[in-house]
Structure 1
């Protein structure tokens, strides 16, 4: 599994219910979700924009491409490592000129073939100053006309500066509003008005076989504003990353490549229904194609809304443990009768109050067998701080099995 924008997977859990939301865009929602009448394949429906007709592929592309931007990640490093998109090399075609740009909100002019031309620039290259260098490129979706842009957390990861290039070629320095690595979502802001914000559709209306369009920047600045076409291959596909985070994604065979991360997965009404985030390149040890994954927009909305309001995801529930997963092979090696998650560190007093100790193995959570650490995080992610979970524990010291109820605590603080 690799990210559509970087080496390694950064897909993650969805924290449902962090902020209440609906289809009318009221309250603190970062953007409105338009609920269609009937199924997603109906010929006509009522939408907030008044346009409810199924569009052609050409019309979808024309409508949404102006709402998808190029996001460039600059870092205080000279290594040119790929953190968030196509890897950018100092002497490569992606960046023939690494001159930096002006302050937040300044129009940096137009960009062509990876070059910065016109507008405001500091006039110093990373080689000359020894400071900033391009680290990678990805995509983003404009959520409001006043400059808010949604993207993946791994697109902006470790960025010292961010640059956004609009479809019309204008470029701006972007400010990071909030980034959440748990859900792989981030919100950035440019100082601009009159932007073409995307229209967002109800991802719960999707059905397997629905036509979709993936819009983004495969190859980064090399192939900006590309549209690829395909279908919804599966829904609620559970994807677990290398850190143990799991989430349910939209699976599509629309081509998703490095640089597409943070871009739009669009239905045939021209509504964004997902944020492209990752792809599988191997299945069972053999190479694979057409296995792309997107974060459902219904799951993304409360996260982005919380990032916009607080700068981090507020009231996220955490269990308060760390440890390691014991699979069947490891269990046999150590002579254990069960598999599960062995607790090596406890950071929540609620666990201690419930009698949980270091060395206990969690074999079930809410009566669900713990097949991976993702099992635990997936269940916890659907709850709020103050909710309880039931843990089935096996003591590795006594061999006894107990069941306890533990109150979840809140994880606060801004994401790094």
Structure 2
């Protein structure tokens, strides 16, 4: 079995944008009228250098920029050799998803919940304190809450409708606070990409050639209508090769976190390693290409009660194919107390279905 590992560098950014001029506003209204008057399938983007083509990007920036924020974090790092603690400053991007002050960003932007302080730079350059109310490092998403008014939520699109070749526009700050409100454009280069980072393996990402540089993490990836279709999360050590988390992955999470302040994700209760990594490190060939090899099952957990054992390979939960622990984590957000489903495993080379229930 061949195994390919993409070396991905994860980086942070701070973004806030200023309002565009009246000319861009008029052109945005003109473009918006076109959207309202024509069915979506009849809208054509002519990228031939004409004024009409350029106004698409202006319109998207005008619409989306007020929702984009900068995130500054401070965490404490300890030198393992001398046990010396020192402060680490970080910066990233986020965007407003609810006018009550909820902001979506990457988990690594807030040091996977370990940031000692978080500050948010709003669109009007106002600096306010933020509070991390939720994060999940396995899917690299986090929600930050600020207490302020006048926020403009971003319009969220449908990432299931995204196709290769669609226009993709990123808003972010590629160099900390040096180049604020940078807008880059390109296309969707690929879908359902799996990449490995230093901290985790991520699956089902969107690939884009829109410039995503050190500093864009957590920023929105937008379609031609100014709707968020992804959250920029990783950049490969290669030109024009960036990756974004599909917005549909984040929608369910954000909604449940916002509506339930005490929300807790259902837990399967397993620890494991994806098949590809397992084969690479052990040299042992398996009968499947994707899945999670179970290394530990928590006593009394959902998985334990379902009969899952160490050594089993989880390949599907419900109708969702499982590629890594991130896949399991994402699937858990679709369940609530009382949910029931089936889990498909490979045990001793044979496929088997087990029943799971979240009580």
Instruction: Note if 1:407 corresponds to 2:347.
Output: no
Q: Work out which of the residue numbers 330, 345, 353 in structure 1 matches 2:282.
A: 330
The number of aligned residues is 308
The CA deviation string for residues 370-389 of structure 1, in whole angstroms up to 9 with x for no partner, is: 99645973795586353220
CA contact (8 A) 2:272 2:292 kept: no
Residue by residue over 1:305-324, the C-alpha shift from the partner in whole angstroms, topping out at 9 and shown as x without a partner, is 12223357644352524468
Matched with 2:29 is none
Q: Which has the higher contact order (CA 8 A, sep 6+)?
A: 1
Task: Note the C-alpha offset of 1:195.
Answer: 2.5
Distance 1:312 1:231, change over 3 A: farther
Unaligned runs of 5+ in 2: 1-7, 14-35, 46-52
Aligned residue runs from structure 1 range 3-402, under 5 A: 3-5=10-12, 39=40, 42=43, 55-76=55-76, 133-157=87-111, 158-241=114-197, 245-281=201-237, 288-311=238-261, 314-318=264-268, 320-322=270-272, 326-327=278-279, 330-332=282-284, 342-349=293-300, 350-353=302-305, 355-358=307-310, 360-362=311-313, 364-365=315-316, 373-374=324-325, 377=328, 380-381=331-332, 384=335, 386-394=340-348, 401=350
Instruction: Give the C-alpha shift of residue 136 in structure 1.
Output: 0.5
| Greater helix fraction, Structure 1 or Structure 2 | 2
Change (3 A) 1:133 1:173: farther
1:72 to 1:377, Cα distance in 2 relative to 1, 3 A = same
Deviation at 1:252, TM superposition (A): 0.8
Aligned-pair CA distance for 1:294: 1.3
**1:201 Cα deviation after fit:** 2.3
Q: CA deviation at 1:182?
A: 2.7
Distance 1:139 1:295, change over 3 A: same
1:161/1:329 Cα in 2 relative to 1: closer, same or farther (>3 Å)?
Answer: closer
Does the residue aligned with 2:226 lie in a helix, a strand or coil? coil
Report SS of the residue matched to 1:221.
coil
Q: Are the structure 2 counterparts of residues 313 and 42 from structure 1 closer, same or farther at C-alpha, using a change threshold of 3 Å?
A: farther
Please tell me whether the aligned partners of residues 138 and 200 of structure 2 are also in contact (alpha carbons under 8 angstroms).
no
- Following the alignment from structure 2 to structure 1, what is the Cα–Cα distance between the partners of residues 54 and 38? 12
Query: Gaps spanning 5+ residues in structure 1: where?
Result: 7-34, 45-52, 80-129, 282-287, 395-399, 411-416
Q: What TM-score, normalized to structure 1?
A: 0.62
SS where residue 124 of structure 2 aligns? coil
Moved more, 198-207 or 157-166: 198-207
CA shift for structure 1 position 65: 1.9
**Secondary structure, aligned partner of 1:196:** coil
Q: 1:9-68: per-residue Cα shift (whole Å, max 9, x none)?
A: xxxxxxxxxxxxxxxxxxxxxxxxxx9985477259xxxxxxxx9952122222222221
Mapped to 2, the partners of 1:199 and 1:327 lie a distance apart of 42
1:317 and 1:380 in contact (8 A); partners too: no
State the alpha-carbon separation in 1 of the partners of residues 297 and 37 from structure 2. Answer: 46
